[in-house]
Amino acid sequence: MKKYKIAAIPGDGIGKEVVPAGQQALEAVAAAVGGYQFEFEVFGWGGDWYRQHGQMMPADGLQALKGADAILFGSAGDPDIPDHITLWGLRLKICQGFDQYANVRPTRILPGIDGPLKRCRAQDLDWVIVRENSEGEYAGVGGRAHQGHPIEVATDVSVMTRVGVERIIRYAFRLAQSRPRRQLTVVTKSNAQRHAMVMWDEVAQEVARDFPDVHWDKELVDAMTARMVNRPATIDTVVATNLHADILSDLAAALAGSLGIAPTGNIDPERRYPSMFEPIHGSAFDIMGKGLANPVGTFWSCVMLLDHLGEQASAQRLMRAIERVTQDTSLHTRDLGGTATTAAVTAALCRFVAEA
């Protein structure tokens, strides 16, 4: 029987609660569909590992992940460790080490979820945001000098390469082409950022020629926030830089009803390395260890993982079960205004997967 090796990295905070829930969901779907199995290897990296070893993951950690078919990630973040250390020491180390340059963030208003927009019907909001995930504002280039002195200087340099821009825009056009509306919005800020963002626009123009069947338009990032709120139905697939898409995807998740639902895939489209799937919510210390975390973001991330593995029937089955969960308000967790626990939601989901 086909066996998929999944590296599970719960990480910190509620990651430790939602990743095991995701594993259960994947087991349930494999049992229901049949023909393949999952083999999980769990890595206890993150804040606790840092306290013991002085780093978020072992120096040769990427080597241990390399043979996996996919990675299921929880979150990185710890109240006692600076955020830039937890982020760069684990999640970005994997994203950048494995050149997972396409970060894909679908957003929909799922059945039973009451979004905050008055005039937005569920069918008006069906977006995928493609985030450049390897460079730009997160390139890590910059420095500090004269720390603590009045002449202190600090820079974070956004780095855009033609190769990096072209590959993400091409990926986004291809994704847009695969969706029914074949529509792409390229988000930019080339009015103010007159070098890299101008190149970004030029590359979009060039790549667009290879996709004559995709309607595309360009939107400045600030105007995009207003368009997402006021005219959600005019949007389908979106591509944006690392930081722009980081911000837009939080807005998207909020407009769809909760950050607890939103999934993401950090994809290496060339499949040289394993891709990594994770809920976009963080480690949420305020509720950790209480069994209150919403596992739906992780379940949806598992749908993306299954899709990536080529198990489309399983992906669809899991998505149908997720929609049954969200439809039932007694299965809503606290972020959705309900009182359901992570365990109750997970048990119901596994039941729906078996029935579907």
Please select the residue that binds ligand IPM; options are 32, 240, 280, 336, rule is CB under 6 A.
Answer: 280
For the record, the structure tokens of 31 come out as 């049992």
- Select 128 or 349, whichever has its Cβ closest to ligand IPM: 128
- Select 236 or 246, whichever has its Cβ closest to ligand IPM: 246
For the record, the structure tokens of 197 come out as 């963002």
Please select the residue that binds ligand IPM; options are 97, 112, 282, 338, rule is CB under 6 A.
Answer: 282
Binding partner of residue 102 among Mg ion, ligand IPM, none, CB under 5 to 8 Å per kind? none
- Select 62 or 87, whichever has its Cβ closest to ligand IPM: 87
Site string for ligand IPM, 76-105 (x = CB under 6 A): -----------x------------------
- Select 112 or 282, whichever has its Cβ closest to ligand IPM: 282
Q: Are 47 and 332 in contact (CB under 8 A)?
A: no
Is 83 tagged catalytic? no
**Measured from the CB of residue 4, what is the shortest distance to ligand IPM in angstroms?**
24
**Measured from the CB of residue 132, what is the shortest distance to ligand IPM in angstroms?**
11
**Measured from the CB of residue 291, what is the shortest distance to ligand IPM in angstroms?**
23
What are the strands, taking DSSP E only, across 114-204? 126-132, 136-145, 153-159, 183-188
What residues between 153 and 172 interact with ligand IPM by CB under 6 A? Answer: none
Q: Please tell me the count of residues contacting ligand IPM according to CB under 6 A.
A: 4
Q: Are 86 and 78 in contact (CB under 8 A)?
A: yes
**Measured from the CB of residue 264, what is the shortest distance to Mg ion in angstroms?**
9
Is 101 tagged catalytic? no
What residues between 241 and 260 interact with ligand IPM by CB under 6 A? Answer: 246
- What residues have CB less than 8 Å from 150, skipping those under 6 apart? none
The answer to whether residue 125 forms part of the interface with ligand IPM (CB under 6 A) is: no
Nearest residue to the partner ligand IPM, using Cβ: 246
- Select 251 or 343, whichever has its Cβ closest to Mg ion: 251
The answer to whether residue 246 forms part of the interface with Mg ion (CB under 5 A) is: yes
Is 250 tagged catalytic? yes
What residues between 109 and 148 interact with Mg ion by CB under 5 A? Answer: none
Question: Which candidate, 258, 230, 224, 251, places its Cα nearest to that of 109?
Answer: 258
Is 222 tagged catalytic? yes
**Measured from the CB of residue 280, what is the shortest distance to ligand IPM in angstroms?**
5
Q: Are 24 and 298 in contact (CB under 8 A)?
A: no
Site string for ligand IPM, 129-148 (x = CB under 6 A): --------------------
For the record, the structure tokens of 316 come out as 């669809």
- Select 137 or 246, whichever has its Cβ closest to Mg ion: 246
Is 138 tagged catalytic? yes
For the record, the structure tokens of 61 come out as 């950690």
Q: Are 57 and 73 in contact (CB under 8 A)?
A: no
- Select 219 or 246, whichever has its Cβ closest to ligand IPM: 246
Q: Are 129 and 235 in contact (CB under 8 A)?
A: no
Strand order in the sheet with 102-108: 36-42, 2-11, 70-75, 275-279, 263-267, 102-108, 126-132, 237-240, 183-188, 215-220
Query: How far apart are the C-alpha atoms of 338 and 356, rounded to whole Å?
Result: 24
CA dist list (Å): 174 to 83, 203, 206, 351:
34, 15, 14, 35
Crossing angle for the helix pair 296-309 and 15-33, to the nearest 10 degrees: 50
In this structure, the number of other CB atoms found within 10 A of the CB of residue 252 comes to: 25
In this structure, the number of other CB atoms found within 10 A of the CB of residue 341 comes to: 18
The active-site residue, picked from 138, 171, 268, 335, is: 138
Judged by the rule CB under 5 A, the positions of this chain that interact with Mg ion are 246
- Which of the residues are catalytic? 138, 189, 222, 246, 250
Judged by the rule CB under 6 A, the positions of this chain that interact with ligand IPM are 87, 246, 280, 282
